[in-house]
Structure 1
Amino acid sequence: MVHRPMEGVRVLEVAQFTFVPAAGAVLADWGADVIKIEHAERGDGQRGLSRVLGLATASEGSSFLPIMEGPNRGKRSVGLALEKPSARGVFEELVRSSDVFLTNFLPGARAKLKIDVDDIRAINPDIVYVRGSGFGARGPEADKGGYDSTAFWARGGSAAGVTTPDADRTPRMPAGAYGDAIGGMTIAGGIAAALYSRQITGAPSIIDVSLLGVGAWATQYTVNQALMKGGPLPPREHPKHGSATNPLIGGYRTADGRWLEFAMLQPGRYWPEFCRLAGRPDLAADERFADVEKIMANAAEAARIVAELVAGRTFAEWTEILSRGEGQWAAVQNSWEVGQDPSLRANGLITKVVDAEGEERELVANPVQFEETPVTLTRAPLFAEHTDEVLRELGLSDEELIQLKIDGAAT
């Protein structure tokens, strides 16, 4: 069995929803023991979301909720009411035995619950302390909450980047928790670096990752261009088909209304191949497109021809035809097709997990693999499923467990 790089690391997570918990899920994938603290009565607020993006979050009669499974697989759930004095001793024992403390609670809540940096470091001075936020740990919005739709998507530049000048509304994120999942992966990488640094130097780190920062990083090319220019970039005028100088760039619609995305950045190299595959080798010899300079000069006319050719065959026909060539292209896939993608499956990036009812399900794996070995997933915990198990590991007796539950401090 392959050794997972985070085996032996304990992560204590006091966080909700997807941004930050997703980091815990990645660390669990990599072998860490991740203990998720959920409020003894309310649990993770995400458990209460019955509909998201117009869809039910669970199938009837099942405990399997993809909205919880994605950011929480592989963890153990402990129900603790941190505001209750009798829960403090248990919580402090968990802090003492952990390598990483992970939270997305706002500063006011952290102060009230005594889980801020100084509080946690007073218990365990060697712990890596990790804060996920909407807008950063400093500045005028340090106390402000945010979601990926606001901090990552809107403020970080992605929404503007996909909004056309004549649009009557901004496009929504392409998937639920889109920025949250990217942010969680980012945090997991930061934690790995901090643990390495601690091993080398002996000093623990404080890690800050904001959704706004992740959003700006994702759009950095255009942000950097604007910074160099000294002002907003001009609105881009996109041709209906192709680009201004390359007909083999961009989206083309098939006869049955599906889309293909071309990214053949060397038109001189790939134009003859495309013409041959499309059954129009004569176009490669056409005087208008006889060399790369002429293709670029007549890109609009070439793109119009490409659009007509693509529109003349179905999506299935084109995917088979284009697979014979070397030019770069991709099918524009919906979420079901992504889940069935042959390359994802060949690489173990769609993987099986058994739910609480014993039914085999599938989830997207995180994209990092070690030793060419697909990750083995276990399901997300049910609410407070591991309270007794984890607290007994700390040495609590049955009588002490019962008293905590009577006090409302544990579930």
Structure 2
Amino acid sequence: MHKPMQGVRVLEVAQFTFVPAAGAILAEWGAEVTKVEHAVRGDGQRGLTTVLGVDAITEGSSFSPIFDAANRGKRSVGLALEKPEAREVLEELIRRSDVFITNFLPSARAKLGIELEDVRAINPDIIYVRGSGFGQRGEEADKGGYDMTAFWARAGSAAGATPPGAEVIAPMPAGAYGDNQGGMAMAGGIAAALYARTTTGEPAVIDVSLLGVGAWATQFTVNLAMMAGGPPPRPPVPRHGSARNPLVGAYKTSDGRWLWLATVQPGPYWREFCETIGRPDLPEDERFDTVEHLMANAPQAAEIIAEVLASRTFDEWIDQFKGLQAQWAAVQDAWGVSNDEALRSNGYIGKLTDADGVERELVVSPVQFDQTPAEARRAPLFAEHTDDVLSELGFSDEKLIELKIAGAVT
């Protein structure tokens, strides 16, 4: 398999998911990614035992899905950037790298000497990448943010996912939900910057914020608001289907599960759908015999469809709908997604062996090259590769011991 990032060296000074997710994607695309973790504390995400109220790690195991997902395929070096003795190691890492990625805030970057000017003074050709909550300019440039705040709450997703009049705001559907989308956006930006450096010789500075990625995700309603000069209206959601189309919306099955219809152009599919659900009479009903009549009487059609779909189980309808041309999908929880036949047959679930020798599975990058699924590799243990990387940089065993005694490396 051709890995387009083969030979690219990435230096990651970041923690939690947003920016590390970009490094994980680049590693799956073939890049050599060296992760710098604090010499004592490591990446703060290693300490997360619960995420959104759910256990994030199995007791007695080194495997943590939220950490391993964002750090797969990397090498870890424990380095105390705040100690002067560590500077020599950092500079050697920067000197040999093509890309430097970080999500440290401006004040922390300045204190540690890893601002753009600091890094470019060592390696003028390096691509410098900053991930932030709220962007690099303005009053909030030095404000920390997670995807729950900058992406989900601030950028419109939380409000958009919460029905009017609800007592609570809709929570994010998964841990690191916005972080992973931000990481994919950042990886794409880095790929473009590497191409541009090859063709022009100019290294780029890349900025990606969770707020910006969140606004990109909700841009349809944001753009409507700007066009209208205020919040766009939120029409009431019918009990079944949509206000003008009975073939758009969620319908409940007899066992309490859901199917989602999304046939936005009902005309070509209405008759086939009705025959599939055992109601070939509906297209002959004068209320539904043309697209115009169907749209005008959508609530009545939706009530009939709801009654029919509620008469059989989820699995029965899944079998019945096989081959149906109208667009639809099963509403799946995380376990259903993990066992999805299309995901597995296309290689979007990858196997790996964790540091304890246990076989695991992770969702892998959705981008495939040469029709070949990405290869899943485990994340590193804390500072696992410090000795190996420093040896490659030319540090002797004596120097390594000296650095360890000084607390500069782990």
Question: What TM-score results when the alignment is normalised by the length of structure 2?
Answer: 0.99
Aligned partner of 1:377 in structure 2 is: 376
Task: Tell me how far apart the structure 2 counterparts of residues 100 and 132 of structure 1 sit (CA, whole Å).
Answer: 13
Aligned partner of 2:262 in structure 1 is: 263
8 A Cα contact 2:352 2:360, kept in partner: yes
For residue 272 of structure 1, report the CA deviation from its aligned partner. Answer: 1.3
Aligned partner of 1:184 in structure 2 is: 183
What letter matches 2:156 in structure 1? G
For residue 37 of structure 1, report the CA deviation from its aligned partner. Answer: 0.1
SS of residue in 1 equivalent to 2:268: helix
* Residue correspondence of structure 1 range 116-127 to structure 2 within 5 A: 116-127=115-126
What letter matches 1:229 in structure 2? A
For residue 359 of structure 1, report the CA deviation from its aligned partner. Answer: 1.4
Gaps of 5+ in 1: none
Aligned partner of 2:325 in structure 1 is: 326
SS of residue in 1 equivalent to 2:18: coil
For residue 232 of structure 1, report the CA deviation from its aligned partner. Answer: 1.3
What letter matches 1:394 in structure 2? L
Task: Tell me how far apart the structure 1 counterparts of residues 251 and 162 of structure 2 sit (CA, whole Å).
Answer: 19
Task: Tell me how far apart the structure 1 counterparts of residues 56 and 298 of structure 2 sit (CA, whole Å).
Answer: 46
For residue 42 of structure 1, report the CA deviation from its aligned partner. Answer: 0.2
SS of residue in 2 equivalent to 1:288: coil
Aligned partner of 1:230 in structure 2 is: 229
Task: Tell me how far apart the structure 2 counterparts of residues 377 and 281 of structure 1 sit (CA, whole Å).
Answer: 48
**In the alignment, structure 1 residue 407 sits paired with structure 2 residue 400:** no
What letter matches 2:126 in structure 1? I
For residue 130 of structure 1, report the CA deviation from its aligned partner. Answer: 0.3
Aligned partner of 1:75 in structure 2 is: 74
**In the alignment, structure 1 residue 273 sits paired with structure 2 residue 272:** yes
SS of residue in 2 equivalent to 1:404: helix
What letter matches 2:285 in structure 1? D
* Residue correspondence of structure 1 range 8-19 to structure 2 within 5 A: 8-19=7-18
For residue 3 of structure 1, report the CA deviation from its aligned partner. Answer: 2.3
Aligned partner of 1:246 in structure 2 is: 245
**For residues 215-256 of structure 1, what are the alpha-carbon distances to aligned partners after superposition, in whole Å with 9 as ceiling and x for unaligned?**
000011111111111211122211111111110101001100
**In the alignment, structure 1 residue 368 sits paired with structure 2 residue 332:** no
Aligned partner of 2:218 in structure 1 is: 219
Task: Tell me how far apart the structure 2 counterparts of residues 95 and 236 of structure 1 sit (CA, whole Å).
Answer: 54
8 A Cα contact 2:2 2:370, kept in partner: no
Task: Tell me how far apart the structure 2 counterparts of residues 52 and 230 of structure 1 sit (CA, whole Å).
Answer: 38
- Structure 1 runs of 4+ aligned residues shifted over 4 Å read none
For residue 54 of structure 1, report the CA deviation from its aligned partner. Answer: 2.1
Aligned partner of 1:129 in structure 2 is: 128
Task: Tell me how far apart the structure 2 counterparts of residues 372 and 398 of structure 1 sit (CA, whole Å).
Answer: 44
Aligned partner of 1:20 in structure 2 is: 19
- Between 223-232 and 245-254, the greater mean CA deviation after superposition: 223-232
For residue 61 of structure 1, report the CA deviation from its aligned partner. Answer: 1.9
| RMSD (Å) for aligned C-alpha atoms | 0.8
**In the alignment, structure 1 residue 311 sits paired with structure 2 residue 310:** yes
**For residues 77-99 of structure 1, what are the alpha-carbon distances to aligned partners after superposition, in whole Å with 9 as ceiling and x for unaligned?**
00000011111001100000000
What letter matches 1:43 in structure 2? G
Aligned partner of 1:139 in structure 2 is: 138
Aligned partner of 1:43 in structure 2 is: 42
SS of residue in 1 equivalent to 2:76: strand
What letter matches 2:405 in structure 1? I
For residue 265 of structure 1, report the CA deviation from its aligned partner. Answer: 1.5
Seq. identity, %: 68
SS of residue in 2 equivalent to 1:380: coil
For residue 41 of structure 1, report the CA deviation from its aligned partner. Answer: 0.2
Aligned partner of 1:203 in structure 2 is: 202
Aligned partner of 1:151 in structure 2 is: 150
For residue 53 of structure 1, report the CA deviation from its aligned partner. Answer: 2.1
Task: Tell me how far apart the structure 2 counterparts of residues 60 and 165 of structure 1 sit (CA, whole Å).
Answer: 41
Aligned partner of 1:112 in structure 2 is: 111
SS of residue in 1 equivalent to 2:77: strand
For residue 358 of structure 1, report the CA deviation from its aligned partner. Answer: 1.4
Task: Tell me how far apart the structure 2 counterparts of residues 13 and 221 of structure 1 sit (CA, whole Å).
Answer: 33
For residue 377 of structure 1, report the CA deviation from its aligned partner. Answer: 1.8
**For residues 99-127 of structure 1, what are the alpha-carbon distances to aligned partners after superposition, in whole Å with 9 as ceiling and x for unaligned?**
00000000110000000000000000000
**In the alignment, structure 1 residue 354 sits paired with structure 2 residue 348:** no
Gaps of 5+ in 2: none
For residue 286 of structure 1, report the CA deviation from its aligned partner. Answer: 1.3
What letter matches 2:62 in structure 1? S
